[in-house]
A and B are shown apart, each in its own frame.
Chain A
Amino acid sequence: MTCVREGEVRAYLDDELPLATHEEIARHLSQCAACRARLEGIERTATHIRQRLAATLPVIEPNAQWGLARIRAQVQQDIVRPNIFRRLSMGNRNRVWRPILAGVVVLALLVGAFSFAPTRAFARQLLSVFRVRRFAVIEVNPNEASLEEVGRTLQEKLFKYEPQVIVDEPVQEVTSIEEARAAAGFEVRLPSYLPFTDTVKFAVKGRTEYAFRFDREGLTTLLQLAGMDPDQVPAGFTEGTVNAAASAMAYICQGKLEIVQVLDPVVDYPEGIVPRVIGEAGLRILGVSAADARRISESIDWTNTLLLPVPTNVAEFREVSVAGEQGVLLVPRQAAGGEEGAVLLWRKGEVIYTIAGPVSVNVLLEVAESMF
């Protein structure tokens, strides 16, 4: 037998060779000093590494029950949060997107909230609530490496306070559309066309209200990161709270097709905040050029438009018409496991609708149309 290759020696050490090969190599080793020396070298290295890696073993056993409880809690929360962003970020394997997309959601809410024409002070009482009437999607092409750090900094400075739960009525599973309507207190829509054969499930959640707290440092950091003048945070501003609330939500699913209907989501804005500037900063952070960020932030009607920045490598989007309303269709580029899928988002009356599922765009639109 000729001398043994390195890979074979390594596999021999781990006893990972077929018996015949193993014995053949054992015989060769007994006759070949060079190969024996090689074996010893490889074994020494392996022993070192095993010892070193032992330092990284968990010190305490993880608590599986606790882990499971956390998952359940998360799933419960997701049921009531249109999980469009979760879907998008799950499809994308890069972990970086998780906190950023979460941040983007809050930012999008903020942008709307902060930008309430404060000049019209007389209308403040009336206008102090942001109602989503329109969606606007813009494509952004951020630099992931720098966003990673920006994301961390924003987590530390801008989103440093835990969102405070003001009202959080429990999720309730119900068995029929009638029960869902009764529990939700609004006309929950059931599509007459559903693509799968699975049983349809219903869940309903009552009022949900969260408060997000922001302070001067957070907003200053945001502007600095965006390369903007931090003095645009008004001199008197020290701290403010954004309240986001939804009166009721209904969740319908069939297999992996999920429909979320949210009644009248509103956002209260904090006083004394610069309008439009926050939006401009957010856009610049997401890779929009300074000139474009200014142009977009000035042209959007922030009083009723929810801006969804979609990274070009995460999803494609297009505007569609659903039941006579303008809606947005997002198609993740890297759907998990290469499976087909899309998310559709629109508003009609006082309700925001989201449908997401592993089906073609046409099927999704058909389901949406069949709801009215």
Chain B
Amino acid sequence: MSDKRSASESTQKASIQSGHMNAEAILLEGARAGQEAAFEALFEQYYRRIYAVLYRLVGDEADDLAQEVFLKLYYCPPQRAESKLAAWLYRVATNLGYNALRARKRWEIRRDALGAEAHGADWQGEAPSPEAWAERQEERHHVRATLAQLKKREAILLVLRYSDLSYRQIADVLGVAPGSVGTLLARAERAFERAYGYIAERDRHSGGER
């Protein structure tokens, strides 16, 4: 079953277990002291991963939110005691992402209720196969709507797990015991399936075909 695990996860895991953290602690110290090169190295190391996690939650807004995460790292880096930078970055990012998703959801509900046709932007872009694109679009919309319905911790847990973080890393982000991740994950997955079914059903009935 270990073949299910992606290569990126194993490398992340390995890097944390080896002496990598020490190098990182030095970089973090440097960034804290205002060394641009240290900050840049950390940025290079984490930007794509943080962006990818944010994208799962908010799509194109990931650009802005990722910038916010790293500005926060620049201005208010984590304290010495909080040595696990990756966990700190993921925590800041997923909090921002989830809050933005929640905010947007309310906004969208309102917009839909008002009957405004603001969906044009979603459908633009170079889509060679409109059907496949529309389907993916729909799925994406459902997934994000579902995540927005879940409790914050559950939504974040799912996004992190399916971004291939290990239980250990997830536990660090959420501040829970690694041994409890399996239980939390199983619960979150059940909640997701239930909410997803409900949302997909609701959309089928209310103007799924536009």
Contact = CB atoms under 8 A, between A and B. Distances in A.
Interface of A: 5-16, 42, 45-46, 48-50, 52-53, 55-58, 61-62, 64, 67-68, 70-71, 74-75, 86-87, 90-91, 93-96, 98, 148-149, 152, 198, 201, 253, 255, 336-337, 339
B95 A7 contact: no
5 contacts: A15-B2, A42-B186, A49-B189, A67-B63, A70-B67
Contacts of A255: 33-34
Interface of B: 1-2, 4-5, 33-34, 40, 43-44, 47-48, 51-52, 55-57, 59, 62-63, 65-68, 70-72, 74-76, 78-79, 82, 95-96, 99-100, 103, 106-107, 110, 136, 139-140, 142-144, 158-159, 161-162, 166-167, 180-186, 189-190, 192-193, 196
A50 B57 CA distance: 14
Contact of B182 (A7, A53, A201): A7
A198 B33 contact: yes
B182 A68 contact: no
Contacts of A53: 56, 143, 158-159, 162
Nearest to B46: A64
B181 A11 contact: yes
**At the interface, is chain A mostly helix, strand, loop or mixed?**
helix
A78 B99 CA distance: 25
B167 A336 contact: no
Contacts of B65: 95
A95 B68 contact: yes
A80 to B, nearest CB: 15
A148 B103 contact: yes
B155 to A, nearest CB: 11
A186 B158 CA distance: 56
B66 A67 contact: yes
A74 B68 CA distance: 10
A10 B96 CA distance: 28
B38 to A, nearest CB: 13
Give 4 nearest A-B pairs by CB, closest first.
A7-B183, A11-B182, A336-B76, A7-B182
A49 B192 contact: yes
Contact of B44 (A16, A64, A148, A149): A64
A14 B162 CA distance: 11
A52 B139 contact: yes
A58 B70 contact: no
A16 B190 contact: no
Given A67-B66, A67-B70, A71-B74, A56 B33 contact: no
A64 B48 contact: yes
A15 B189 contact: no
A50 B162 contact: yes
Nearest to B55: A58
Given A13-B1, A71-B74, A255-B33, 16 more contacts: A7-B180, A10-B189, A11-B167, A14-B5, A15-B1, A42-B186, A49-B189, A55-B136, A55-B143, A57-B56, A64-B43, A64-B47, A71-B67, A90-B71, A96-B103, A148-B103
B48 A337 contact: no
Contacts of B193: 45, 48-49
Given A5-B183, A7-B182, A67-B43, A15 B78 contact: no
Contacts of A61: 48
Give the residue among A12, A67, A98 with the most B Cβ atoms within 10 A.
A67
A56 B143 contact: yes
B162 A49 contact: yes
Contact of B166 (A7, A10, A16): A16
A220 B199 CA distance: 38
Given A53-B159, A55-B143, A45 B181 contact: no
Contacts of A94: 99
Given A49-B192, A58-B62, A64-B43, A336 B52 contact: no
